[in-house]
């Protein structure tokens, strides 16, 4: 029998009384136990950026470096993202970066921790944090980096290959733009072509911010 939504884990009970304050959200998220991913992870990795950011970038989940440092997009994928944003002429001071899932999911391989994609239950559990972040920041545009971020906001029918580069509207009313996750660029057979595609999509975002 399929599980009902009411049976799914959720972080909703861990949100602060005033979820409109990013600092309070960040403090509350540090103690989140809304799904089992908190236990093996080093720490919660919350979003980073100003509350007045006009652009929010949403990835999948923190990686090994992010889990260690407690900041999103500071590993190899983060360096690729910074390079693409700069090439697309997006003002990084106007950007807030976060992930659909706030804890690192991995499988151990000796001393290494290998990324494992979050499943539907884990994404569902973490959605209250992402919803609260978007409500607190109220950006002009949300860029969805990859399939997990897209499904978190647009639902299970979202496909990066079909929807990337398009301006869409999320059920919450946010204007969104889908593109590749920068880690997909790093894994691509033709890395330059994948990078150029990411830059092209981010240029659309830059145009939206320029009005």
Question: CA of 181: how far to CAs of 136, 143, 172, 175, in Å?
Answer: 24, 10, 22, 18
SS3 state of residue 99: strand
Domain boundaries, the chain: 19-210
How far apart are alpha carbons 47 and 22 in whole angstroms? 9
For 19-210, CATH gives 3.40.470.10
Helices (H) and strands (E) in the chain, counts: 8, 7
Average pLDDT over residues 89-94: 95
Signed CA dihedral, 4, 6, 11, 17: sign only: positive
User: Which pLDDT value is given to residue 2?
Assistant: 41
In the block, tokens 């390079």 appear at 83
Distances (CA, A) of 145 to 18, 157, 202: 28, 16, 10
pLDDT of residue 1: 34
**Per residue in 43-82, pLDDT tens?**
999 999 999 999 999 999 999 999 999 999 999 999 999 9
The mean predicted confidence, pLDDT, of the chain is 94
- Residues 147-162 pLDDT 10s: 999 999 999 999 998 9
**What is the CB neighbour count within 10 angstroms for residue 11?**
23
Number of other residues whose CB lies within 10 A of the CB of residue 199: 20
Kindly report the pTM of this predicted structure.
0.94
């Amino acid at each position: 029998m399929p599980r009902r939504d009411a049976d799914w884990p959720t972080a909703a009970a861990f949100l602060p009384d005033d979820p409109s304050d990013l600092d309070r959200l960040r403090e509350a998220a540090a103690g989140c136990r809304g799904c089992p991913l908190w236990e093996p992870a080093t720490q919660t990795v919350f979003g980073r950026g100003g509350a007045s950011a006009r652009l929010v970038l949403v990835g999948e989940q923190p990686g090994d470096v992010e889990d260690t440092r407690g900041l999103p997009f500071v590993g190899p994928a983060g360096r690729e993202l910074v390079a693409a944003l700069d090439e697309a002429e997006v003002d990084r001071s106007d950007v807030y970066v976060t992930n659909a899932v706030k804890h690192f999911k991995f499988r151990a391989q000796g001393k290494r921790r290998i990324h494992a994609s979050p499943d539907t239950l884990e994404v569902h559990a973490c959605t209250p944090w992402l919803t609260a972040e978007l409500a607190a920041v109220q950006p002009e545009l949300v860029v969805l980096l990859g399939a997990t971020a897209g499904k978190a906001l647009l639902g299970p029918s979202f496909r990066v290959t079909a929807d990337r580069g398009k301006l869409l509207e999320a059920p919450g009313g946010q204007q969104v733009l889908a593109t590749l996750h920068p880690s997909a660029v790093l894994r691509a057979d033709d890395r330059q072509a994948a990078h150029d595609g990411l830059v092209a999509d981010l240029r659309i975002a830059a145009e939206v911010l320029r009005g």
